Structure formats: C-alpha cells, structure tokens
C-alpha cells in the first residue's frame, strides 16, 4: 500500500511528529511505501519528496504588512499547498492519505485535491484545534473554557491565543470559515481520536467528530528495555513550555532539594530551565536528546513526572515511560485518568498543585519496592494496550476500510 503522511512539520517538534515518524517506520517495516508531505524548513529531515514541500510562514508573531497578510491568507487557505500536493499526487499516486496537524501552515486546501485524485483520507486529532482557537485548551495559565459551546468571539475578547487579540482573531476566523465550509467533515472519511477522553472533550466543546474511532498512540516495545528503577531520581521529558508545567516543575524542585531531577527537552522555556539547573544543585538539564539518549534517561530514573497544565490527548512520554518500566506522577486531567491507574501505574495530582506533586514524589521516591511494582504494571500495560503490533492491526484495518473496491483488491 502507498500511504501519504501529511503533517506541517517533518522534524522532531512535538508528540505529533514523534508519532508520525514512529508510524511511518512501522508501516515501512511491514512493506508499505510511505510518502511525506509537509513544510520545508531548515530542520526538515532530508527525504526524496521534499521538492514538493511548501514554503514556511512565521506564526510566532502576527504582524501587519505583507508578511502578516501572507500568514493570514495561509491560515485560511493555502493555494501553494494545493498546487504542490497536486503535483506530488500526479507523479506518485497513493492509496490512502493520513493527515496529522495541517492547521495554519498547510490548511484544509489540500482536501479537495485529495478528493479529485480519488484518495480516501483519515485524520488523527492530535489537539483540539477543531473546537477552539486555543488548540490545547490552555490560556491564561490554565484550562481555557471561553469558547466551550460559546461564540468564537470570546477567544478574541479574552486574547486566548498567545495573549494577543490579533492572533486570537486570526485563529477564530480560520476556525469559523472552515466550520462554515464543513470542509473537514466532507473531506475526511475517518477521524482518529488517540483517547476516549479526547473524543469526549470534543463533544463537550460542541462538536463530535463524525465517523470517529479511538486508536491510542503506540510505542515500539522492541526498542525499549526495562531495568531496576533508580531511587531518588525524577525525570521530566517534554517540550519546555508553560503549558507542560515548567513553572510548576520549578516550584516542585524548590520543595525537594534532596531529590535529583533530570530534565530533557527543548522549547521557549529553555533559558528558564538552564538557569534553574545553574541555581539548583539537584537539577540536571540534558537538553534535547536522541532516542537512544532518551531511553538512557529513563533507565537512570525512578519515576517520571508530567505536571502538565494543558489537556493532553495521548502523550508519547507516558507511553515511553511505561515501555521503560517506569511509573508516572501526572496532573489529574481527564486524559491522564484514562491512561494512569492510581497507585498501580502512577499517581494523579491536581494540576498546578506543586505541594501535591512534591508530596507524591516524597511518598515513593525512595521506596524501591513501590517503584519496581509500578514499573512492572506500567510495562504490562504497554504490552497489552499500546504495542506496535496492536496499533498496526488497527491502523491497517482503518486504512483498508476507506479504500474503494478497486484499490482494496
């Protein structure tokens, strides 16, 4: 089967990209051909199809002038993406297309192109962009509910995107236009929710994805090996942004001077974390790491901490922790409740409660028996629910169900 994988970034940027590359490798390992389509940036991984990739736009700051107008236009509809994808499909016909994060940079302008070429489409919902301009439901330091079953103008009034009325207005206009067109509903055969909690939140916010199925993310267990937990060591892996709880993490570190913390990742809060590692003897910041280095970091810890303030959908870090045989201490969001069994595979703490996290860590960090038991349950959970084999069967079944009779023969 020839499978088109479409995502705005084609480099390690976040959880969506880690899933994208893991899925591509899994499909190729089973003999399928994977063709990527994305934005071409300096960090883009070299590949045979990058001449069809589209030019990037700067979404960090929304400005007036030609650059701002170009950005706004691409948010709503990318003629370049449609043209480049048409050229790619003319040269390399595919059986099915799998969309990931296409918002802003690529836009749904590609959906009519896929339909014209007779390509069925599935899409993984990696965030909550289709129900809120604040795509991770996070703003102003906590859960953003301003557009929950309400007008998108509330997002503009409250500056829910980047604390900016201009950015909020642009994202609200983008969502309003695409809702009016019903372009996602009409152009996608199946929506994939990586968790039931995500699907429920979509419905609570006023939209239930049609033809939706729940298929959790996965981890390649063959690449992960368990080892005895290292007592006294806590690991944080993730994008360094306030949404992921970096400021809460700093408070927790200050409350536990005798506990060793290792931080892995990159992002806007990197300088803050680097400063933290210089002023706190119990902190080691290792920066962004390769997969083998990340696996080593898991082996060197006793437990993994996830103090996220945003609603996670199916965090890859949690699945990796389970694969490494490590329990997780995480925020008590609905999504984490679906993946973590309290006192079995981890501990849940109220989001933003630094004292609660510190207490949970103190409770188990030096108890080798508890850490080992959590790790065993976590690994079993990964093997029985989140393995590559299980995921492959579900994804291929979904792909096959979208094919026309001639393509499926």
Say what the pLDDT of residue 12 is. Answer: 85
Dihedrals phi, psi of 187, to nearest 5 degrees: -100, -5
Say what the pLDDT of residue 167 is. Answer: 85
| Burial classification of residue 378, based on how many CB atoms lie within 10 Å of its CB (0-12 exposed, 13-18 middle, 19 or more buried) | buried
| Residues 27/62, Cβ–Cβ less than 8 Å | no
Say what the pLDDT of residue 67 is. Answer: 53
Residue with tokens 């103090």: 307
In the chain, the number of structural domains is 2
> The CATH number of the domain where 339 resides is what?
3.40.50.2000
Each residue of 254-301: pLDDT tens digit?
999 999 999 999 999 999 999 999 999 999 999 999 889 999 999 999
204 and 155 in a single domain? The answer is yes
214 and 231 in a single domain? The answer is no
CA–CA distance, 165 with 71 (Å, rounded to integer): 16
85 and 229 in a single domain? The answer is no
Task: Write the CA distances from 97 to 3, 9, 30, 119, 187, integer angstroms.
Answer: 6, 16, 17, 7, 11
123 and 147 in a single domain? The answer is yes
203 and 84 in a single domain? The answer is yes
Chain length of the chain: 409
208 and 232 in a single domain? The answer is no
Domain interval for residue 306:
221-385
166 and 245 in a single domain? The answer is no
Beta strands 2-6 and 33-37: pairing type?
parallel
Residues 6+ away with beta carbon under 8 Å from 140: 158, 160, 163
Q: Which residues of the chain have pLDDT under 50?
A: 65-66, 409
181 and 105 in a single domain? The answer is yes
Determine the angle formed by the axes of helices 66-76 and 165-181, rounding to 10 degrees: 30
107 Rama class: left (phi>0) / alpha (psi -120 to 50) / beta: left
161 and 286 in a single domain? The answer is no
Residues 6+ away with beta carbon under 8 Å from 76: 107, 173, 174, 177
CB atoms within 10 A of CB 140: 12
204 and 307 in a single domain? The answer is no
115 and 143 in a single domain? The answer is yes
| Residues 44/50, Cβ–Cβ less than 8 Å | yes
Report the chain's C-alpha Rg in angstroms.
Answer: 21
CA–CA distance, 137 with 144 (Å, rounded to integer): 5
33 and 131 in a single domain? The answer is yes
Say what the pLDDT of residue 409 is. Answer: 46
Q: Which three-class secondary structure string do you get for the chain? A: CEEEEECCCCCCCCHHHHHHHHHHHHHHHCCCEEEEECECCCCCCCCCCHHHCECCCCCCCCCCCHHHHHHHHHHHCCHHHHHHHHHHHHHCCCCEEEECCCCCCCCCCHHHHHHHCCCCEEEECCCCCCCCCCCCCEECCEECCCCCCCCCHHHHHCCCCCCCHHHHHHHHHHHHHHHHHCHHHHHCCEEEECCHHHHHHHHHCCCCCCCEEECCCCECHHHCCCCCCCCCEEEEECCCCHHHCHHHHHHHHHHCCCCEEEEECCCCCHHHHHHHHHHCCCEEEEECCCHHHHHHHHHCCCEEEECCCCCCCCCHHHHHHHHCCCEEEEECCHHHHHHCCECCCEEEECCCCHHHHHHHHHHHCCCHHHHHHHHHHHHHHHHHHCEHHHHHHHHHHHHHHHCCHHHHC
């Amino acid at each position: 089967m020839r499978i088109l994988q479409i995502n705005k970034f084609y480099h390690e940027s976040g959880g969506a990209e880690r899933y994208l590359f893991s899925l591509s490798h899994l499909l190729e390992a089973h003999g399928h051909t994977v063709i990527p389509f994305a934005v071409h940036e300096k960090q883009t991984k070299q590949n045979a199809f990058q001449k069809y990739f589209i030019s990037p736009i700067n979404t960090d700051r929304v400005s007036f002038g030609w650059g701002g107008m170009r950005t706004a236009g691409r948010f709503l509809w990318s003629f370049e993406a449609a043209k480049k994808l048409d050229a790619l499909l003319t040269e390399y016909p595919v059986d099915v297309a799998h969309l990931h994060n296409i918002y802003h940079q690529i836009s749904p302008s590609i959906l009519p192109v896929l339909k014209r070429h007779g390509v069925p489409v599935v899409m993984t919902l990696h965030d909550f962009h289709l129900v809120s301009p604040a795509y991770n439901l996070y703003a102003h330091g906590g859960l953003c509910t301003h557009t929950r079953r309400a007008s998108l103008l509330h997002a503009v009034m409250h500056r829910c995107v980047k604390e900016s009325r201009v950015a909020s207005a642009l994202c609200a206009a983008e969502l309003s236009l695409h809702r009016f067109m019903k372009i996602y509903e009409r152009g996608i055969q199946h929506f994939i929710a990586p968790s039931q909690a995500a699907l429920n939140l979509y419905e609570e916010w006023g939209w239930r994805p049609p033809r939706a199925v729940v298929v959790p993310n996965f981890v390649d267990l063959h690449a992960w090996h368990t080892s005895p937990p290292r007592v006294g060591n806590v690991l944080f892996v993730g994008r360094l942004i306030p949404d992921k709880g970096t400021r809460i993490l700093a408070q927790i570190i200050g409350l536990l001077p005798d506990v060793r913390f290792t931080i892995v990742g990159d992002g806007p809060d990197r300088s803050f974390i680097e400063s933290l590692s210089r002023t706190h003897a119990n902190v080691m910041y290792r920066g962004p790491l390769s997969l083998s280095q990340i696996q080593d970091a898991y082996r060197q810890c006793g437990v993994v901490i996830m103090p996220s303030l945003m609603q996670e959908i199916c965090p890859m870090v949690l699945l990796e922790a389970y694969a490494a045989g490590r329990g997780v201490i995480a925020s008590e969001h609905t999504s984490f409740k679906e993946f973590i069994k309290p006192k079995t595979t981890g501990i849940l703490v109220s989001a933003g409660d630094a004292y609660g996290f510190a207490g949970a860590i103190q409770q188990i960090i030096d108890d080798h028996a508890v850490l080992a038991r959590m790790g065993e349950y976590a690994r079993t959970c990964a093997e029985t629910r989140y393995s590559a084999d299980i995921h492959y069967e579900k994804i291929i079944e979904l792909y096959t169900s979208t094919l026309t009779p001639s393509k499926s023969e």
